Structure 1
Amino acid sequence: MTSRRAVVVDTDTGIDDALTLVYLAAVGGVDLVAITATHGNCSTADSAVNVGHVLGLCGLPDVPIHLGRPGPISGKPPRYSYHVHGHDGLGDLGVEKLPSTPSAEPAAEALVRIGREQPGEVDLLVLGAMSNLADAIAIDPLVLTRYRSIVVMGGSGPYQPAGTILEVDANVDADPQAAEIVFGAEHGNLVMVGVNVTTPAILDEQFLAAVAEQNGPVTSFCTAILSYYLDFYQEKWGRRICSAHDPLAAAILVHPSLVTRAADGPVNVRDDGYAVRARLMRTADLELPAFPLIETPDTHVVLDVDQAAFLTEFTAVLANADARLAAQ
């Protein structure tokens, strides 16, 4: 990376979101401009509290935090992933969280203002339900064109080979109408990092041991919340491992060269009666699907990444987060 990146993060701050914020704070070359809180892993209010705690731990208490919509734009009640992230979003550790005060400026207005003030200079990383982005588009339909890139952790990529089962597309399912607005809006560089590529990005026992070994304030926090996370995922995998969904999206924003294969095309939000997914309207061999699609501006959809390079760097950054942050 040859120049610094200014980044806004829109997040429903659960456990992997918190690890992502630590990564962005410690990786070097990233300036966090603002954080906007949304719903999903936990409530919007708890997400903002969790952001403040992580930023405080990382020595960044002055990064503004903006509260977003408390639920889907449809007005339906939000659904939270308490069983995965705990009722507070960070594993119900019972610790007193570092204090923070959200900005009086709502998330959607902040997203519009930052884009207008710094057109083409700021990247937007989207880690939760896309309600805040939909609200920003309602204010300014061209808001997404004003960001250098918009990297979305969400979607499911193209249709998969027959018999392939994908992880839940949680961030789209949390507010399908908002996702439809986002993928249908005008944009300059919208990147989908879907569960098709994030699920295989496995943080294994070696990663956990490397982070736990350092025993600093930040790494101890990461180890503690990961322990709760893995209590859930061990029932899925039979091992204490998890997928690095949000961290991989952040790493791709910082290091686009991690992407080894991608395709551009329209993304539609599809409901199969069980769950809702955002899909590149292509089959596994990148042919058109067997049914009519809705034409939208092309999204850059990630199909493969250099998983080994990602895991090597992410481990190095997280395991040495305290030293890296102290040196900045």
Structure 2
Amino acid sequence: MTAVALAVTDGMLHFELALACEVFGSHAPDGADSWYRLSLCGPDAVRAGRFRLEPDRGLDGLVGAHTVIVPGWADIDRAPPAELVDAVRAAHEAGARVASLCTGAFVLAAAGLLDGRRATTHWAHTRVLAERHPRVTVDPDVLYVDDDGVLTSAGKAAAMDLCLHLVRLDHGSAVANTLARRLVVPPHRDGGQAQFVTTPVPAPGGHPLDGLFPWVMRRLDRPLTVEDLARQARMSSRHLGRHFRSATGTTPLQWLLTQRIRRAQELLETTDDTVDAIATATGMGTATTLRRHFHRTVGVPPDAYRRTFRARSPTRSSTNPGPEVRLGSVRGLIDG
């Protein structure tokens, strides 16, 4: 089991704290060979919002954990406790992967873990984070950032996105998707997706792109263009781009590439298909093209990704996508 330590002190935001407990402290989803051993590390008694917690261990328990998670810090105008900052720094120096949820980024920044790195936090506080910690490259327009084992997220729903990202790294897409379905949340929103969009997204059934998303997902093996998508949606390419930005926070081509990469991840995890076959099945054309985009997006080549996750997922022999996974991803983009 993987040890996950949740750093808790007075002044933590209870939503992010409870969210991390739900993801890492619940029973393992179907398909997971092992799961997490969660411990709450903090002083003798902790108050988070209206709730009082009894930690399992002191803050020194962060050292030795595989992953340390720092929930949101409620009062960003006040410096986080020195004992918390020191404990998080010590855990990172001991080799822990460290993640912050929402304004927990202020704790990581105070510990010096974000110096020279990209990071994010809730959009309402990114300016303060950047001003207070000029050595941090603060990106206000993303859901979460994974910078070589130091991870930060925006607020609330984005904290869930980051937690599912950690599960996906540790156990693969199939397990992360199963967990997301159990939690009734979108199975995947790319970290680079915008924190918020300027136009509210209509409810499913009323958005102009409702019919386009599943149409595209059934044709990921084809070399689709923006013009193809615009023609199917019965609108101009420019009009399509505006609707895509409104609904997903990104462009049609970037969204399409993300779906191809996600499909390639599923196939690498759950089939014995060659990289060439997966390139064809995902519309990448050639293995070279797939390797280039996959490495740039995921951070490792397809073959290395398969070696990491292949044994953790049940084997399937077909490249025919499962409709529940595909439509779930689409609903996440519309609803989330």
The structure that has the greater radius of gyration is: 2
TM-score between the two structures when normalised by the length of structure 2: 0.34
More strand by share: 1
TM-score between the two structures when normalised by the length of structure 1: 0.35
Higher relative contact order (CA 8 A, sep 6+): 1
More helix by share: 2
